[in-house]
């Protein structure tokens, strides 16, 4: 069992120059097992802990979906964990900001023919930027998250490294973290394998100990991105060209996965099929590929 589960309460695990009892920390709580364990570790080691959850969307079809973050069921789970640990918990409504900063930029990126990674943009903007400001407003000494990342201070400079559990490495999603943010952030799970995180959750009797990990884009219901795309691509489809294309996956002539493929405005693309003329799609058009 990790020594972090309970250490001498006079030792500050965060490397700050005062005892935990005088150290106020904000824990970003998504309702998942990782952030819940982080909150538990901070509480057990004597810190003044405040849990903070951002409500980022409120889609009815997502509310009961396990393994997402920052929506109905997950907010409820974060609240239950906070009550179990006897810590203060705040829910901040950031739906409007999340829509403007993440969802709309995600849609715009697709419309340009790109493949966006909304988690990076979310961490850059809503999560770290706004959580950072909220934690500072509460006069917290540190912002704690459940990311699997190592932070090492070298010559008084905070640096980010890959975690012990490389299968859970989240450094890629945090590449845009600023130096100021990194100085303020702490990642207690950087030295733990995921299996041990779940063991700690069970030791703390947290109901989220066996909760599934988040896998899909959080605001896409049940991971059905094509259904989500039906809504955000209306503008393009009203003027573009949509072709139903049957792809023979055995020939290898077209090596695209099943899905939809966009052509950026001002460009053209030709899809070839065996013994047939190529299908030419002008900029703004879409090919829907099926097996």
Known catalytic residues are 122, 218
Take residue 217 and report the two structure tokens written for it. 């884009």
Q: Judge whether 70 and 57 are in contact, CB under 8 Å.
A: yes
**CB-side exposure of 117: number of CA atoms within 13 Å?**
9
What secondary structure does DSSP assign to 27-64, as a single string? EE--SSHHHHHHHHHHHHTT-EEEEEEEE----TTTTT
The C-alpha atoms of residue 33 and residue 211 are separated, in whole angstroms, by 7
Local structure of 272: helix, strand or coil: coil
The C-alpha atoms of residue 223 and residue 246 are separated, in whole angstroms, by 23
The C-alpha atoms of residue 244 and residue 231 are separated, in whole angstroms, by 18
The residue written with tokens 């943009």 in the block is 121
In terms of DSSP H, where are the helices of 70-212? 72-85, 95-98, 104-111, 118-122, 131-137, 179-184, 194-203
The C-alpha atoms of residue 80 and residue 156 are separated, in whole angstroms, by 38
């Amino acid at each position: 069992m990790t020594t972090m589960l309970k250490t001498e309460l006079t030792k500050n695990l965060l490397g700050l120059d005062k005892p935990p009892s005088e150290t106020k920390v904000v824990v970003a709580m998504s309702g998942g097992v990782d952030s819940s364990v982080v909150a538990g570790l901070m509480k057990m080691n004597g810190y003044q802990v405040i849990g903070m959850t951002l409500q980022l969307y409120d889609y009815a079809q997502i509310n009961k979906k396990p393994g997402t973050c920052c929506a109905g069921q997950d907010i409820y789970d974060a609240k239950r964990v906070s009550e179990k640990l006897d810590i203060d918990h705040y829910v901040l409504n950031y739906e409007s900001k999340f829509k403007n900063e993440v969802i709309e930029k995600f849609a715009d990126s697709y419309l340009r023919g790109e493949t966006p990674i909304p988690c990076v943009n979310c961490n850059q903007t809503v999560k770290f930027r706004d959580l950072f400001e909220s934690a500072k407003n509460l006069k917290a000494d540190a912002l704690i998250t459940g990311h699997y990342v190592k932070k090492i201070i070298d010559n008084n400079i905070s640096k980010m490294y890959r975690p012990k559990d490389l299968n859970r490495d989240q450094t890629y999603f945090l590449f845009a973290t600023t130096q100021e943010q990194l100085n303020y952030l702490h990642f207690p799970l950087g030295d733990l394998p995921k299996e041990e995180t779940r063991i700690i959750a069970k030791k703390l009797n947290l109901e989220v100990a066996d909760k599934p990990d988040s896998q899909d884009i959080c605001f896409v219901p049940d991971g059905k991105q094509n259904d989500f795309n039906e809504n955000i691509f209306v503008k393009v489809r009203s003027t573009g060209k949509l072709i139903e294309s049957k792809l023979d996956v055995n020939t290898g002539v077209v090596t695209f996965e099943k899905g939809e493929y966009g052509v950026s405005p001002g460009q053209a693309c030709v899809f070839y099929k065996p013994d047939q003329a190529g299908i030419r799609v002008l900029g703004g058009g879409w090919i829907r590929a099926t097996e």
